[in-house]
Chain A
Amino acid sequence: MQLDQLPLGQSARVGAVNWHAIPSVEAHRLRSLGLEEGVLVEALHRGILFFRDPMAVRVGRMTIALRSKVAAAITCSVIEA
């Protein structure tokens, strides 16, 4: 499942990231914020008014905000509670 499709409140582990689909500056910042292969994520908030963008994701103990377009390049597998 792609991260942008992850239901709110659902935890998942990041499997693969298609780094080529993300501009290099953003890719570097994404790694700096700890969002890379193998980490646990949880979808927290998504969208404003009737839009679905941006989304807030918990990464480790941090919360980061990103756009769906970038989240779509991140593949993750749902962890059953």
Chain B
Amino acid sequence: MSKLPPLVALVGNPNSGKSALFNALTGARQKIGNYPGVTVERKIGRWNLADGSIAELADLPGAYSLTPDSLDEQVTRNVVLGQQTGQRRPDALVVVVDAANLDNHLRFTLELIEMGLPVIVALNMFDLAQRDGLSIDPDILSAELGVPVVATVAVRKRGLDTLSQAVAKILAQPHILLKILEAPLEANRGALTKQAHHIAKKAVISETATRQWTRILDGILLHPVAGVFFLFAILFIMFQAVFAWSEAPIGWIESGFALLSDQVSAVTPDNWVRSLINDGIIAGVGAVVVFLPQILILFLFILLLESTGYMTRAAFVMDRMMAAVGLSGHSFIPLLSSFACAIPGIMATRTIMDQKDRLTTILIAPLMTCSARLPVYTVIIGAFIPEQFIGPGIGLKGFVLFGLYVLGIVGAMVAALIIRRSVAKGASGSFLIEMPRYQLPRLRDILLGLWQRAYLFLRRAGTIIFVSTIILWALLSFPKAPEGSGMTQADYSIAGRIAEGVEVVVRPIGFNKEIALALIPAMAAREVAVSALATTYAIDDNGDEDAVAKSLGERLSSKWSLATALAFLAWFVFAPQCISTIAVTRRETNGWKWPIFMVTYLFAMAYAAAGITYWTAVAFGLG
């Protein structure tokens, strides 16, 4: 058996620049997964040390102390103690400390040093501390703490070599754990706090007051009125950008797939193989991959808001409004992430301290319009909403999309109000958060984040969507409708017969058989609804030369009434069409009770919303 490389863990307070340091040390050599049994993200990377050896580097979740008050802190504590399933105990710790926040961060450092593992302190964001008028002597700090201290600036890659040498040196020394690892007693914390303040005072040589950027910006961004306008302006720009910026790249992807389809037709005989590749795989997967640009734009905004430090300000601005429905500003961050995808959103709820707040946030997270709904919305809006401008720079299509987002938010707020007064009744939630300094985002970190999202999305397209598309194609293509039966292929196939059953339930809300058919595989992922419709209509139109050339949007607008299209949109605002979300809810709430509750109430809302939309539209003569 080959020897495992030594494991080094990065530990530190939230906002100590830990993740930036992790990115700088490991580059793109990272693996992201989960700790078994919990949804806390496990980030492991390879670190090439100065002496030519290799270490495994783990980026532990940010924590304030070894006495946990969130799931994240629990994992950090367990890893350090060697008690986390699926993770061996680290051989050394790199404790990341914000140089400008020594007073506060040193207490956790002292707790960690007490544990007895070899420790190296990375005095991070050293440049920002200097800019703030702080002059710190790392040598004094090192002497006081009794461990090596290295000044680093992760985002500018300064001090990394020195850090790497120090780690290599400490790993090369044989280390004997003198004591059995156990968490420090809470009773000691008063003494540790005093000690931390004392050491910080010694290590800080001089301190001059400077006018900080953060204060000036906060004066505007946390202004009781201007702050609110700014937040809503950002959100509006974000949603407009998702539509406007993505137009060109979507066109490139579409023509790419069309070209591919032509190539396939040129080299394959006209039989079921060509149908599988063109109508099944290319139509299905292509219809989904097209939305990669929009998803990346959405994530770009979220990553920017997070890395600049604005996200916690947004939580501040939203706190009072969230309090009106029994939640707090803490819920805003997971809910905003849910606009990209409910899964990271639900995972992000673990930082919410109040358990009832957390449960409520999990239950309403699927109502935030996630990026998987975008494909559905875009196709329907593209096909049914005319190209018009209702104001300077504001298109009707973008406006309708904005309306769908708002509908989801309003639905979520109503749901939260009711949930917080019934199944999750309790004292009003809490809001207590650290607001980090503003920082310029690092291009590299943003790109790395975007690449990871793109990879996850494409992997989904390549697996779940690929497989469900092929299964659907097979169910739709067999058995073959006999000549002159008067039935379309979609009606005659196995899938068509299953859809007949579903159609009975959804016909009152204006859904046709093709929609009923699309809703089933869309449980795997919402965007599959689009590829399912694309596949269904592609197979249906096969042989009709004019129809084959049509896009999905053109096909839909000739076959659906406006009332049906609007009802379909309303359905997708609420419907819990995503098995992964249900699974992650089960894991986060430790049981089936809450996921079942969630699915039931969301389907009920979806049915009601689609029904009301359809009946209203028909009453106005749009049926």
Contacts and interface: CB of A to CB of B under 8 A. Distances in A.
Contacts of B228: 48-49
Contacts of A67: 319, 328, 430-432
A1 interface: no
B320 A47 contact: yes
B329 interface: yes
Given A48-B224, A64-B434, A66-B431, A29 B218 contact: no
A63 interface: yes
Given A44-B218, A49-B225, A60-B101, A28 B193 contact: no
B312 interface: yes
B234 to A, nearest CB: 15
Given A54-B320, A54-B329, A26 B430 contact: yes
Contact of B353 (A26, A54, A56, A66): A26
22 contacts: A23-B430, A25-B69, A29-B432, A30-B432, A44-B218, A45-B218, A45-B223, A45-B316, A47-B224, A48-B317, A48-B320, A50-B224, A56-B316, A60-B104, A61-B100, A63-B214, A63-B218, A63-B435, A67-B319, A67-B430, A67-B431, A70-B432
Nearest to B428: A69
Contacts of B64: 29, 32-33
Most buried by B among A23, A51, A67: A67
A49 B224 contact: yes
A25 B100 CA distance: 26
B433 A65 contact: yes
Contact of A65 (B67, B193, B329, B353): B329
B540 interface: no
Contacts of A49: 224-225, 228, 320
Interface in B158-190: 189
Interface of B: 64-65, 67, 69, 100-101, 103-104, 132, 189, 193, 214-215, 218, 222-225, 227-228, 312, 315-317, 319-321, 323, 328-329, 353-354, 427, 430-435
Contacts of B328: 67
B431 to A, nearest CB: 5
A30 B64 CA distance: 10
A28 B189 CA distance: 11
A48 B193 contact: no
Contacts of B315: 65
Contacts of A26: 353, 430, 432
B434 A61 contact: no
B435 A61 contact: no
A81 interface: no
A34 interface: yes
A74 to B, nearest CB: 12
Interface of A: 23, 25-26, 28-34, 36, 44-45, 47-51, 53-54, 56, 60-67, 70
Contacts of B101: 60-62
Contacts of B193: 31, 36
Given A26-B353, A65-B432, 10 more contacts: A23-B427, A23-B430, A32-B64, A34-B103, A36-B193, A45-B223, A48-B317, A56-B435, A61-B132, A64-B432
Contacts of A54: 316, 319-320, 329, 431
A66 B327 CA distance: 14
A34 B13 CA distance: 12
B320 A51 contact: yes
A53 B321 CA distance: 10
B310 to A, nearest CB: 13
A31 B108 CA distance: 12
Nearest to A51: B320
Contacts of B353: 25-26, 29
A40 B254 CA distance: 60
Contacts of A34: 103-104
Contacts of A50: 224
Most buried by B among A28, A30, A44, A50: A28
Contacts of B312: 65
Contacts of A30: 432
B352 to A, nearest CB: 10
A63 B354 contact: no
Contact of B104 (A25, A28, A56, A62): A62
